[in-house]
Chains A and B, each alone.
Chain A
């Protein structure tokens, strides 16, 4: 009897999924097991999403001058969406996130791939130590990381800016030109190590014989990386890219916290920040819901476009 409970991740592609002949003794068992998850999933995922979609088509009308005669919810058609899309600040914030994503996601994925390849190569000394060091920031919540970096971005407080001044470089990471890239730096700092671990997990699943064969054919490390490792870690790279795209579109904590110390960040700097402001500062829930739905739709579209394009590229 072979029960490889402790086996390292094995990429087992069972294409032909044989339905087990089980479920015969009781048909209740799967529902008992799945039930609690399903109930909570409905409560915290399905219902809120349905509610968001419904309220994105509704408007609250207040009767009387100050709403003293009560409120009523009426069907609003696409007016919330129209309002969201006509708001040039909202469109600008989406464009800002796209620019952010086009630069930050490839940089981070390239960096985490490079680090993973270097750490897994025989040339690296103390790989365990470096891996832990790179992964450390992931354990620091985005909010805390942003507070930390915001101090390092503050003139007078930051030794980095002092050092830059000594060599004659005057930069203001919190100014309107640089603040987006200051946020990008925080995100890269936090998530590179995490993505690197996903890539390393897949690198470790490459069979040793492949390396052996390539080396006997005279391939050097660069050649091995290009011809063997990179093609085989594609699934991990795609996974991390899709998660990064989704993460970029819902950027919230970093800009919201950084707004404490930077006047360049307003209450609608990212799409999510705009939705939050609409819902809680302006009580404009319908528009906020429409914005949340739009953000989710854009995230879906970009993820699927990326998957489609990269799948086509591989065929």
Chain B
């Protein structure tokens, strides 16, 4: 650790006399980047790391189990110890089976999920950025009202709108189409809220004024100056929306009846609902779960460090 001379004990210690020495004032004024509390102490380090390992087991063991389970035949699944690979590892066969069952419908579900989540999150991020920027950087009539109404949208339970949305889309002939899932995914009130806060606090008005003096149009200014400065917030909004759409279940369940349009969540639940009647679906479902976890799990591990910009700014006080 950088500066502290005294080694804090494991218990809450009484104020250390040494801390009142004259040098303390000088040290105090020295700013530390990325400060973290508590200096290292071997005993405490073992204790803390031990706790972290135990908790990690809780989060990881189910994932480990599904890898093991996905490598077994349906009979081995019940006959052999759950945490041990059986003598006959057939992970590859099971995965092949997942992709060939029902004329390769699983691959289609995966692609549908990629389409819904990828396209949806990309457009949603752009729309939230444009809207948030407009609400932050222009004064116009009705601005505060509009912002207030959209903020209310953050608190509306997603499932409360799904049922009426189904009726609305039915009457428009949109139910049971790709649009039924895609259109509602393009709107992220929370994303707009984050972008508004971020734009307000980071985009300098002088910069926009300078661009205007250079003769740039308003839309051009947004696309060149605004979007670039907003990038950290945009990454957060994009990830939020990506995971939100990928994980969504209620909306597609309500909207879609055609199996070909299902995202992977709905498709797997469809298989899962058949295991009690047809045990071979255990094989399909466990291997399908494993395959469907992989893309987003990799994305999470790589992207979680970016999952920061603007997340808590302007949060509820």
Question: Closest 5 A-B residue pairs measured CB to CB?
Answer: A208-B35, A159-B82, A29-B218, A218-B15, A208-B32
Q: How far is the CB of B110 from chain A (nearest CB, A)?
A: 12
A122 touches B39 (CB 8 A): yes
Q: A123 with B38: in contact, given A29-B219, A40-B183 (CB under 8 Å)? A: yes
Q: How far is B149's CA from A109's CA once the two chains are assembled, in angstroms?
A: 28
Which residues of A come within 8 Å of B, CB atoms? 1-12, 14, 17, 19-23, 25-27, 29-34, 36-38, 40-41, 43-49, 51-52, 55, 115, 118-126, 128, 130-145, 147-152, 156-160, 162, 189, 192-193, 197-198, 201-202, 204-218, 220-225, 228-229, 235-236, 238-239, 242, 246, 249-250, 252-253, 257, 260-261, 272, 275-276, 279-280, 285, 288-289, 292-293, 295-296, 299-300, 303, 307, 311
Q: Which residues of B contact A292 (CB under 8 A)?
A: 159-160, 163-164
Most A-side CB within 10 Å, residue of B37, B163, B229, B297 = B37
Q: Which residues of A contact B119 (CB under 8 A)?
A: none
Q: How far is the CB of B100 from chain A (nearest CB, A)?
A: 21
Q: How far is B60's CA from A296's CA once the two chains are assembled, in angstroms?
A: 34
Q: Hey, what's the 0/1 contact readout for B250-287 against A, CB within 8 Å counting as 1?
A: 10001000000000111011001101100000100110
Q: How far is B44's CA from A214's CA once the two chains are assembled, in angstroms?
A: 19
A4 touches B202 (CB 8 A): yes
Instruction: Point out the residue from B143, B192, B300 that lies within 8 Å of A138, measured CB to CB.
Output: B300
Q: How far is the CB of A237 from chain B (nearest CB, A)?
A: 10
Q: How far is B273's CA from A300's CA once the two chains are assembled, in angstroms?
A: 34
Q: Is B88 an interface residue (CB 8 A)?
A: no
B293 touches A22 (CB 8 A): no
B200 touches A159 (CB 8 A): no
Q: Hey, what's the 0/1 contact readout for B289-317 against A, CB within 8 Å counting as 1?
A: 10011001101110011011111110111
Q: How far is B133's CA from A148's CA once the two chains are assembled, in angstroms?
A: 41
Q: A23 with B138: in contact, given A139-B297, A140-B293 (CB under 8 Å)? A: yes
Beyond A37-B192, A44-B161, A133-B59, list 19 extra A-B contacts (CB 8 Å): A3-B207, A14-B200, A41-B189, A52-B160, A52-B164, A123-B40, A130-B52, A131-B304, A136-B60, A136-B63, A143-B268, A150-B272, A152-B65, A189-B62, A198-B312, A257-B272, A275-B163, A289-B163, A295-B157
